[in-house]
Amino acid sequence: MRTVAVVGASLAGLSAARSLRKQGYDGRLVIIGDEPHRPYDRPPLSKDFLTGAVAEADLALEADGEDLAAEWLLGTRATGFDRTERRIRLADGTAVRADGFVIATGAAARTLPARAGGANMAGIHTLRTLDDARALRADLARGGRLVVIGGGFIGAEVASTAYALGLDVTVVVVAPTPLAGPLGETMGGVVSSLHADHGVRLLCGVGVKGFSGGERSGTGVPTAEGRGRVEAVLLEDGRRLPADVVVVGVGAQPHVEWLESSGIELENGVKCGADGRTGLAGVVAVGDCANWYDPAAGMHRRVEHWTGAKERPAVAVATLLSGGAGQPGPVRPPYFWSDQYGVRIQFTGHAAAADSVTVEEGAADDRSFLAVYRRAGAPVAVLGMDQPRLFTRWRKQLAAAGA
């Protein structure tokens, strides 16, 4: 293999590039990313970066002086993949030809349907990129009322950070219980009760109809760019929530539209084997855009967590370099963390597989406990709130049981 192209210059792409060099690949390495920035870390964007406790320089993922001997094509979007020519088309009309490809284009923040309006209103944000976080940080600094739409981890973290900055915060969630997807009903309820502990309003079971503000009425306060600002969030039940800043945190969708009609199978992202391979020889996919086969569960899963984006590329790169001959090594069960209201939340495994969940240590009411999810008596997932030591031990145990 003489040229490998990595598409996506974030955590998964950088981890793949590192793995290539670590596993002895010494050919040409091209890394394509549509953001202008060197790879940076996203998790702090909803946490310490918004408060200013960590600066942009602290977000860099590369170590000082790290040199992967790669050609970086930054600020360049990949627009297509030609399977016969084995090349990636770029938005500027050029193309990169390669023998091996790593697809690591991640995911994009989901937005509300267009009928909700607000597209031209200032003050409405999504949060995925550094540029998003810069804009949100500037808006939060104005203070006032924040409405967060969506009760997932990113929405909850923004609410917690904004609360710490002194804003008046309301979280609106269409589901009856936030976080029920990743954590199950019971524990989703326990974790999201952190909002109420801090006087952040949580409105569940109600959808958002749209926004009022400058866009439609023309009465909104004009901004520097001449756009009107958002003034309120309108709920399906007729309520109107006054808002100075709005964050739409309704999940992410894989960034794979550029691969349509490439011959690579797309199904909730790039469909991959247990080792990251796609249906095309010499093409693997990693990170948030990849829907990997999980042999233990007998199904494909797309995992949108930092640790998977960091650890799985080593397996995918081994597949690529061996021409698919290698045996996929075991991958650890999914793991993620979240920091909210000064509480450290850690989770590993799959809650959906469980038929019971029990608190084994501490108490849910104290927001310091360890809960174990089981299926037919065997642990399948573990949740810790402010229990890093115990959690670490359980995580190892779960990983060992699954290997």
58's contact among another protein, ligand FAD, none, with CB below 5 to 8 A by partner kind, is another protein
Given candidates 21, 28, 137, 310, which one binds another protein under the rule CB under 8 A? 310
Interacting span for another protein (CB under 8 A) from 46-54, 136-144, 189-197, 296-304: 46-54
Q: Is 337 in the site for another protein (CB under 8 A)?
A: yes
Spacing of C-alpha 73 from chain mean position = 23
Provide the residue type at 268 as one letter: N
Q: Does residue 72 touch ligand FAD according to CB under 6 A?
A: no
Give the end-to-end CA distance of the chain in Å, rounded to a whole number.
31
Q: Is 344 in the site for ligand FAD (CB under 6 A)?
A: no
What are the Cα distances from residue 195, in Å, to 1, 149, 158, 290, 341? 52, 14, 11, 32, 8
Number of helices followed by number of strands (H, E) in the chain = 9, 26
Determine the Cα–Cα distance for residues 394 and 375; give it in Å rounded to an integer.
16
Place of tokens 């697809």: 103
Q: Which of 86, 128, 195, 229 binds ligand FAD (CB under 6 A)?
A: 128
Is 58 an interacting residue with respect to another protein (CB under 8 A)?
A: yes
Position among 18, 42, 86, 195 found at the interface with ligand FAD (CB under 6 A): 42
Instruction: Please report, as a single letter, which amino acid is at residue 290.
Output: A
Chain positions 363 to 392 lying near another protein, rule: CB under 8 A, are 388-389, 391-392
d(CA 190, CA 196): 11
Name the residue nearer to ligand FAD (CB basis): 33 or 328.
33
Pick the closest to residue 128 from 301, 18, 255 (CA basis). 255
Residue 392 interaction partner, one of another protein, ligand FAD, none, beta carbon < 5-8 Å per kind: another protein
Q: In sequence order, what are the beta bridge partners of 392? A: none
C-alpha 88/C-alpha 32 separation (Å) is 10
94, 365, 396, 401: which one binds another protein (CB under 8 A): 396
The answer to whether residue 254 forms part of the interface with ligand FAD (CB under 6 A) is no
Q: By C-beta, is 80 or 242 nearer to ligand FAD?
A: 80
Quick one: which of 9, 29, 61, 385 contacts another protein (CB under 8 A)?
61
- In which order are the strands placed within the sheet that holds 240-242? 208-213, 230-235, 240-242
CA distances from 222 to 134, 164, 228, 249 (A): 21, 28, 5, 25
**Residue 125, contacted partner among another protein, ligand FAD, none, CB below 5-8 A by kind:** none
Q: Is residue 48 within the footprint of another protein (CB under 8 A)?
A: yes
Separation CA 35–CA 43 (nearest Å):
17
Beta bridge partners of residue 345, listed in sequence order: 338, 385
Q: Which of 63, 114, 299, 376 binds another protein (CB under 8 A)?
A: 63
Residues engaged in binding another protein (CB under 8 A)? 41, 48, 53-55, 58, 61, 63-64, 306-307, 310, 337, 344, 346, 388-389, 391-393, 396
Residues engaged in binding ligand FAD (CB under 6 A)? 7-13, 32-35, 42-43, 45-46, 77-78, 104-107, 127-128, 154, 255, 258, 287-288, 304-307, 309, 336-338
